[in-house]
Structure 1
Amino acid sequence: MNLYRAIGSIGGLTMVSRVLGFARDMIGSRVLGASHANDAFNLAFLLPNIFRRLFAEGAFSSGFVPLFSRRLAAGGHEDAQAFSNEILAVFMPALLLVTVVFEIFMPGVLLLVVPEYGNVPGKLELAVELTRWTFPYLLFISLVALLSGVLNSLTRFAVAAFAPALLNLALIIALLVSPPDTVETVRFMAIAVLLGGIAQFLLCWVAVRKAGVHLHFGRPRLTPAVRELVVLILPATAAAGVYQISQLFYAYFSARLGEGALTKLSYADRLNQLPLSIIGTALGVAILPAISQAIAKGEDSEAADVQARAFDLSMLLTLPATLALMVAAGPIIGALYQGGQYTVEAARVTGNILAILVTGLPAYVLVKVLTPNFYARKDVKTPVRIAMGVLGAGIVANFILIPYMGIYSLATVTSASAWVNFGLLFIILHSRGQFRMPAWLVARLGKQLLAAVAMAASLYAVKIAAGGLFFGGVLERIIGLGALVGVGAVVYFAVAWMIGGMDRQAIAALRRRAKTEELPE
């Protein structure tokens, strides 16, 4: 597997979805502002996504992909297909049960998560209504996770990476056609979430069938394959559960900070999640099958090499993103969101939150790079224990810091927790001899950091010179952002190339292969 090409495919199509997501947020911020209706929608969007990550993308994929890959290598498509059908037969009714239970008890669930919403007339009721529309999204997007696991194991990354774009397209259409009333607008958006989930499911279902894997909804049976997966993913579900519980506390704490707090945190986190999704998630998806197959063949050195190359590539792309977002957080937030109902003060606070959040961005990405090493070895207990400890410390820290730092406490604790998580994972892998940073990697990371510092200096100069453009008209904002992105990219990659901060041979080989594949047969 060519790691650069896999990341390019996944990251590029993920970028399409993220750009559409920013278009959605730019429209939504101007129409809805930092209002109680926007808070209610962000909560309604948060809850099904929490359970999606709990049941599907994290724990399920970390267990399903290695087992599917093993059966694919040993028994071919037929064995892997039978395994997938056995899992689907149990997965589907379990998701239906969870969805029905939450639909029934939604008022009590939200009263538990955001009790302060009950103090604002109509806010809790609106949040309940919206979440009842959005929660069935969990059913479809969890099935998408299973289908994506099949496609990724077959190294067909494109469809799974593009699918989230359909959700953002649905939300943009809802914003454009909804009536000029904030409550009606968020109702349209909640329905669009459900329709977007259905569209993603249909796209991935067709892609899996075209890949030669024919799935069907059969009678649920507790087969040995199902039991093996359950035993494997239960600890991983607990690990994912720890993180998702932290997101519930995020909503709980934000509800105590007044109207618009959850909206500001959500907009800042969207930008923070952009490089994480494009780089970290893409790397995690791409390297898990490769590491699993290498370990299954007893090729530990190959597994370590994949990990080291992923570490290198992740920092090559993450360090400039981190420093760029830190230096230019205010102008970027102003250019994207400020206007209409989203005030200058709301944009200022959102920019400050973003600048704090991204200090943990390298750690967020590296956690995604390191955890496949544990999952491929069927060790999911270690990440669980670490995640539980980090969560507990983070909750205590927020209770202590919020009276002093307010909304900025949540961003500070989130960033610090990511670094603690990464540090503990790295120390354990190093002590077991399962991952050691080779000398070439240490040297290259130092050069990448130098290139990123040079880029940050150039961005600061652009920020001073073009400050007024970021808060001007649409064309001025486009020019301002274009200058930031263009200057930053040119300076960083030019310096990194000159001082050896990137793998020149791998990039040259990739370019030669691309040219070869473009030649007519």
Structure 2
Amino acid sequence: MGSNTLLSRILGFVRDIVLAHLFGAGPMADAFFVALRIPNLFRRLFGEGAFSQAFIPVLGEYRSQRSPADTRAFVEDVSGWLALTLVVVTVIGIVAAPILVLLIAPGFAADASKFHLTVELLRITFPYLFLVSLVALAGAVLNTYGHFTVPAFSPVFLNLGIIGAALLWAPHSAQPAVAVAWGVTLGGVAQLLFQIPALRGIGHLHWPRLRRRDPGVAKVLRLMGPAAFGASVAQVNLFLNTILASLVGANVVSYLYYSDRLVEFPLGVFGVALGTVVLPMLSRQAASGSSEFPATLDWGLRWTWLVGFPATLGLVLLAEPLLITLFHYGAYTAEDAAQSALSLVGYGLGIVPIIAARVLAPAFYARQDTRTPVRFGVISVLVNVVVSLMLAWHFRQLGLALATTLAALVNSILLARRLSRDGVYRPFPGWWRFLRQTSLASGAMGLFLWWGRGAHAQWLHWGLWDRLVHLLLLIGSAIALYFFLLWAQRLPELRELRRPQ
């Protein structure tokens, strides 16, 4: 899962380098990023967000307790109702595009050309919601059956669609952003088609149908109600960031986007992979009453710290060198890199709590409790709202990023406290030793990065290959130092954490 996601994230960096060269951090970039963000926000509801959280536990229950014929019928019915809902939402989204842009980026209304371009781009990219949500349905089925490769690899096609449109179509288009927007939709088509052979291989390539009173669908809807509200609440954080970013200053939307792309690398390669694997595993253990449930949680949380903490140090200490190396070409200026680095520091501090929440929340969904995470999600959103309003106008992108991080920290703490209070999870022995040894190794790695990064002016002076070579050597040496120090301290988790038992 992680290795295939890594390939997708690498292509994602290539995509963002191409977009930074084409758009920089100006009005066209702001318009495209908002048009891409809106269907992605809805995807969290209809795709891998609320829908998957409700669907995977029920599918796991069907697989373990029902016949294969009942399981196939359940998947057919869910596919039909989901597809019908997505068609309706997509049509509404295309028609109501101007209203959505006003709601998400009200600051764009002051610039008529920027507003109209965003509306045009959104109408092209909104069908991606329909495509990627069906991709998420296929991925949920495959993951439940232990097939993680195809769902993890499929985002590669989205990146290829955007890169191909930016390189081959945009240079010959009067409006380059429109060409790139079509690349998003074409990439979504390729993602969906890529799922078909794998679904056929496990016997779950079905025509959707709309059967009334299906008990499995009713159960998914019952669970999805709170989960949908929770997913919607979680997206309020992103909506609020986008709204305030469009109001507090020019190009802030773009600064947040470029820094978010770097934070999404560890979150995507590791955090998403870990959460994706943990949910069906916990669902099977909960359905069968396995005593391994708390052990799986403990395994996930130790991995969260083992990878998340050094990743945080790396992103914070190398914020500007990373942005300069990846994006400082064409229209993306040195000032853009310096401003984006501020939000990267704020977002980077949230890596550990964000990944922790992706491990802890599935413990509730696996037990078919979708209400508790919703309550905590509401609290975290309120925290984000208050802190964002306090910090946004003075600290701009840094304040917005810090508010997101603080909200994630509150959410993860609340989830952990409830699992502990309910007796679902207690930390296994050895945590203090584990934290001491990993913190010492991370601290030494951080000192090495601080010493080795040098002056930012030098990174601006170097060309592309000099930047890449220095960055890769610096990161590679830091990773080697970190794991060498863990090995020298004989950290047993290096062996024990290879896979859950």
* TM-score greater than 0.5 by the shorter chain: yes
Name the residue aligned to 2:471.
Answer: 481
Name the residue aligned to 1:456.
Answer: 446
Indicate if the aligned counterparts of 1:447 and 1:500 stay in contact, CA closer than 8 A.
no
The 3 A distance-change label for structure 1 pair 428 and 509 is closer
Q: Which AA in structure 2 matches 1:35?
A: G
Name the residue aligned to 1:297.
Answer: 288
Q: Which AA in structure 2 matches 1:98?
A: V
Indicate if the aligned counterparts of 1:250 and 1:410 stay in contact, CA closer than 8 A.
yes
Q: CA deviation at 1:182?
A: 8.9
- Where does structure 2 lack aligned partners over 5 or more consecutive residues? none
The 3 A distance-change label for structure 1 pair 509 and 263 is closer
Q: Distance in 2 between matches of 1:237 and 1:501?
A: 41
Identity %: 33
Indicate if the aligned counterparts of 1:90 and 1:221 stay in contact, CA closer than 8 A.
no
Name the residue aligned to 2:424.
Answer: 434
TM score, norm. by length of structure 1 = 0.93
Q: Which AA in structure 2 matches 1:197?
A: G
- 2:351 is the alignment partner of 1:358: no
Q: Distance in 1 between matches of 2:62 and 2:370?
A: 20
Q: Distance in 2 between matches of 1:480 and 1:196?
A: 33
Q: Distance in 1 between matches of 2:425 and 2:268?
A: 23
Name the residue aligned to 1:416.
Answer: 406
Question: How many aligned positions are there?
Answer: 500
Name the residue aligned to 1:215.
Answer: 206
Q: 1:268-311 CA distances to partner (integer Å, 9 max, x unpaired)? A: 01111111111111111111122112122222x31000111111
Name the residue aligned to 2:376.
Answer: 386
Of 384, 390, 413, which residue of structure 2 is paired with 1:400? 390
Q: CA deviation at 1:393?
A: 2.4
- 2:127 is the alignment partner of 1:143: no
Indicate if the aligned counterparts of 2:346 and 2:399 stay in contact, CA closer than 8 A.
no
The 3 A distance-change label for structure 1 pair 469 and 348 is closer
The 3 A distance-change label for structure 1 pair 38 and 354 is same
Name the residue aligned to 1:315.
Answer: 305
Name the residue aligned to 1:5.
Answer: none
Q: 1:142-171 CA distances to partner (integer Å, 9 max, x unpaired)? A: 001110000000100000000001000111
Q: Distance in 2 between matches of 1:260 and 1:350?
A: 10
The 3 A distance-change label for structure 1 pair 110 and 465 is closer
SS at match of 2:249: coil
Between 71-80 and 234-243, report the one with greater CA deviation.
Answer: 71-80
SS at match of 2:208: coil
Q: 1:11-69 CA distances to partner (integer Å, 9 max, x unpaired)? A: 11011111001001111112211111110000000000000011110111111111111
The 3 A distance-change label for structure 1 pair 496 and 194 is same
Q: Distance in 1 between matches of 2:89 and 2:469?
A: 47
The 3 A distance-change label for structure 1 pair 222 and 185 is farther
Q: CA deviation at 1:382?
A: 0.9
Q: CA deviation at 1:507?
A: 6.8
Q: CA deviation at 1:509?
A: 9.0
Q: CA deviation at 1:442?
A: 3.6
Q: Which AA in structure 2 matches 1:446?
A: R
Of 109, 121, 129, which residue of structure 1 is paired with 2:112? 121
Q: Distance in 1 between matches of 2:463 and 2:433?
A: 44
Structure 1 residues 497-512: aligned runs within 5 Å: 497-501=487-491, 503-506=493-496
Q: Distance in 2 between matches of 1:278 and 1:509?
A: 16
TM score, norm. by length of structure 2 = 0.96
SS at match of 1:438: coil
The 3 A distance-change label for structure 1 pair 289 and 480 is same
Q: 1:462-481 CA distances to partner (integer Å, 9 max, x unpaired)? A: 10289724651111011111
Q: Distance in 1 between matches of 2:453 and 2:199?
A: 47
Name the residue aligned to 1:52.
Answer: 43
Q: Distance in 1 between matches of 2:233 and 2:10?
A: 29
Name the residue aligned to 1:335.
Answer: 325
- 2:178 is the alignment partner of 1:187: yes
Q: Distance in 2 between matches of 1:382 and 1:306?
A: 20
Q: 1:150-195 CA distances to partner (integer Å, 9 max, x unpaired)? A: 0000100000000001000111111111344897221111101111
Indicate if the aligned counterparts of 1:316 and 1:502 stay in contact, CA closer than 8 A.
no
Name the residue aligned to 1:67.
Answer: 58
Indicate if the aligned counterparts of 1:338 and 1:471 stay in contact, CA closer than 8 A.
no
Of 225, 229, 253, which residue of structure 1 is paired with 2:216? 225
Q: CA deviation at 1:78?
A: 2.9
Q: 1:496-519 CA distances to partner (integer Å, 9 max, x unpaired)? A: 122134524347899xxxxxxxxx
- 2:434 is the alignment partner of 1:444: yes
Q: 1:225-283 CA distances to partner (integer Å, 9 max, x unpaired)? A: 11100001111111110111221111111111233211110110111111111111111
SS at match of 2:203: coil
Q: Distance in 2 between matches of 1:395 and 1:508?
A: 39
Name the residue aligned to 1:90.
Answer: 81
Indicate if the aligned counterparts of 1:136 and 1:194 stay in contact, CA closer than 8 A.
yes
Q: Which AA in structure 2 matches 1:235?
A: P
- Where does structure 1 lack aligned partners over 5 or more consecutive residues? 1-9, 511-521
Q: Which AA in structure 1 matches 2:233?
A: V
Indicate if the aligned counterparts of 1:310 and 1:369 stay in contact, CA closer than 8 A.
yes
Q: 1:296-330 CA distances to partner (integer Å, 9 max, x unpaired)? A: 2222x310001111111222111111111111111
Q: Which AA in structure 2 matches 1:51?
A: F
Of 347, 350, 365, which residue of structure 1 is paired with 2:337? 347
Indicate if the aligned counterparts of 1:363 and 1:418 stay in contact, CA closer than 8 A.
yes
Q: Distance in 1 between matches of 2:435 and 2:422?
A: 23
